[in-house]
C-alpha cells in the first residue's frame, strides 16, 4: 500500500527571528508517511523571512510581493501544496507557538481514516491550557460557542490555525476572507460533510507574547465576527435571513396586537399612533426578509452545485 505524502505549510509575515527554528524542527521522518516537504509562504515580508527559511532548508518558498493577509497566504499555500502533489497538508504558525513534534499526533486521525480535517485544541485538555489574557480567552470561547450553536457541533477551540487537512478536504475548501481563515474553513468543511476531529496540543508560547494577527483584541474580534457572520450568511441563508425576518415580523405583529386590544378596550390609539406606523414597517420588513430567506436558500443550492463543479475541475486538473 502506497504511503501518503505530507506537506507542512508555514504562512509567514516578518518572522525572520522564528521561521528558521520552526522549519528546522519539522520532523522529516514520520511513521506512515512517505516524504515530508516544508512549504513557506512569505506574505510580503519586509525582513529576511524568505532568506532565513531558505537557509533552514525549506523545500519550497512562495513569496507575495505585498502583504495580502493570512487568509490569502493560507489559500496560496493550499494551492501550491496541491500542485506539489500531497495527500495531507499540515498548517503551522511561523512564530513558534506550536510544537512541530505534535505533527504526527495531528495527522494520526487522517492516516487512520477517521477524519478529513484535524484541528489542534488549546482547551480540550485542561492540563495543556495556555496562559491567555482574559479578553482573548473570552473571545475564543464566545466565537467557539457561536459556531457550535449554528453548526450543532461541540468543538472546544475553533480559532486555532495548527491543523491537518486531507487532500480531499483541501480540494473542497472554498475560502474568501483575507484577514484570517480558521473559522471560515471549519464552517465550510462542516457544511460539506467533512469529518473533523480535535487533538489537544500544548502551546509553547508566542513571540514576546504578541501576535501578528491579533494586534488589538477588539479589532480582531470585530474582524472575526464579520467573517463568521458572512460565512453563516452564505452557508445558512434560510436560517440567517429567516430568523431576522421572523423576529421583525413577530415584533411588529405582537405590538400591533397589543394596540388592537387597547383599541377594543378604550376605543382610542393616541398617543401611540407612531407605534402603528413602526409596526407596519416591522411587519413589512419581516415579511420581505422571510421572502429573501427563501430566495437565498434557492441560490445556496446553485452555489453548492458550482462548488461541486469547482472541486471536480480541481481534482481533474491535478490528476491530469
Has residue 219 got a pLDDT over 80? no
User: Confidence class of residue 209 from pLDDT cuts 50, 70 and 90?
Assistant: very low
Comparing C-alpha atoms, which of 28, 17, 93 is closest to residue 52? 17
Per-residue pLDDT, 216: 59
Residue 50: all three cell numbers together: 524568505
* Top-confidence residue, 21 or 318: 21
The fraction of the chain above a pLDDT of 90, given in percent, is 61
Has residue 221 got a pLDDT over 60? yes
| pLDDT digits 0-9 by tens, 11-20 | 999 999 999 9
Q: Where are the domains of the chain?
A: 5-235, 237-319
The fraction of the chain above a pLDDT of 70, given in percent, is 94
Name residues whose C-beta falls within 8 Å of residue 213's C-beta, 6 or more positions apart in sequence.
70, 179, 180, 220
Has residue 211 got a pLDDT over 50? no
Q: Mean pLDDT of all residues in the chain?
A: 89
Report, at the CATH architecture level, how domain 5-235 is classified: Alpha-Beta Complex (3.90)
Q: Is the peptide bond before 271 cis (omega within 30 degrees of 0)?
A: yes
User: Confidence class of residue 217 from pLDDT cuts 50, 70 and 90?
Assistant: low
**How far is CA 185 from its chain centroid?**
4
Per-residue pLDDT, 98: 93
* Residue 121 · residue 200 · CB < 8 Å: yes
* Top-confidence residue, 116 or 126: 116
**pTM across the whole model:** 0.81
CA pair distance 188, 238, nearest whole angstrom: 16
- Tell me the C-alpha to C-alpha distance, in Å, between residue 162 and each of 74, 93, 117, 121: 12, 7, 11, 9
| pLDDT digits 0-9 by tens, 146-163 | 889 888 899 999 989 999
CA pair distance 13, 64, nearest whole angstrom: 10
Most confident range (mean pLDDT) of 95-99, 147-151, 267-271, 283-287 is 283-287
Per-residue pLDDT, 205: 58
Residue 210: all three cell numbers together: 504578541
Longest Cα–Cα distance of the chain, Å, equals 86
Q: Is the dihedral of CA 140, 141, 143, 144 positive or negative?
A: positive
Q: Is the dihedral of CA 206, 208, 209, 214 positive or negative?
A: negative
Amino acid at each position: 500500500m502506497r504511503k501518503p505524502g505530507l506537506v507542512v505549510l508555514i504562512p509567514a509575515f516578518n518572522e525572520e527571528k522564528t521561521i528558521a527554528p520552526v522549519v528546522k524542527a519539522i520532523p522529516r521522518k514520520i511513521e506512515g508517511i512517505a516524504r515530508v516537504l516544508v512549504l513557506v509562504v512569505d506574505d510580503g515580508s519586509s525582513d529576511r523571512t524568505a532568506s532565513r527559511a531558505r537557509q533552514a532548508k525549506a523545500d519550497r518558498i512562495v513569496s507575495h510581493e505585498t502583504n495580502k493577509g493570512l487568509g490569502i497566504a493560507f489559500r496560496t499555500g493550499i494551492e501550491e501544496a496541491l500542485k506539489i502533489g500531497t495527500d495531507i497538508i499540515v498548517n503551522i504558525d511561523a512564530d513558534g507557538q506550536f510544537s512541530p513534534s505534535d505533527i504526527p499526533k495531528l495527522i494520526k486521525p487522517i492516516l487512520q481514516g477517521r477524519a478529513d480535517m484535524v484541528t489542534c485544541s488549546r482547551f480540550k485538555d485542561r492540563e495543556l491550557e495556555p496562559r491567555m489574557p482574559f479578553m482573548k480567552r473570552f473571545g475564543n470561547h464566545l466565537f467557539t460557542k457561536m459556531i457550535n450553536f449554528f453548526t450543532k457541533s461541540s468543538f472546544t477551540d475553533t480559532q486555532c490555525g495548527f491543523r491537518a487537512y486531507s487532500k480531499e478536504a483541501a480540494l473542497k475548501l472554498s475560502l474568501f476572507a483575507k484577514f484570517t481563515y480558521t473559522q471560515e474553513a471549519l464552517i465550510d468543511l462542516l457544511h460539506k460533510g467533512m469529518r473533523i476531529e480535535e487533538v489537544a496540543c500544548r502551546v509553547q508560547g508566542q513571540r514576546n507574547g504578541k501576535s501578528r494577527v491579533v494586534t488589538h483584541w477588539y479589532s480582531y474580534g470585530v474582524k472575526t465576527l464579520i467573517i463568521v457572520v458572512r460565512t453563516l450568511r452564505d452557508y445558512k441563508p434560510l436560517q440567517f435571513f429567516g430568523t431576522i425576518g421572523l423576529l421583525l415580523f413577530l415584533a411588529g405583529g405582537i405590538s400591533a396586537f397589543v394596540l388592537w386590544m387597547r383599541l377594543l378596550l378604550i376605543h382610542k390609539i393616541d398617543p401611540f399612533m407612531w407605534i402603528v406606523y413602526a409596526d407596519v414597517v416591522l411587519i413589512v420588513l419581516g415579511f420581505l426578509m422571510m421572502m429573501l430567506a427563501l430566495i437565498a436558500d434557492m441560490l445556496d443550492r446553485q452555489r453548492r452545485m458550482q462548488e461541486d463543479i469547482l472541486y471536480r475541475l480541481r481534482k481533474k486538473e491535478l490528476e491530469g
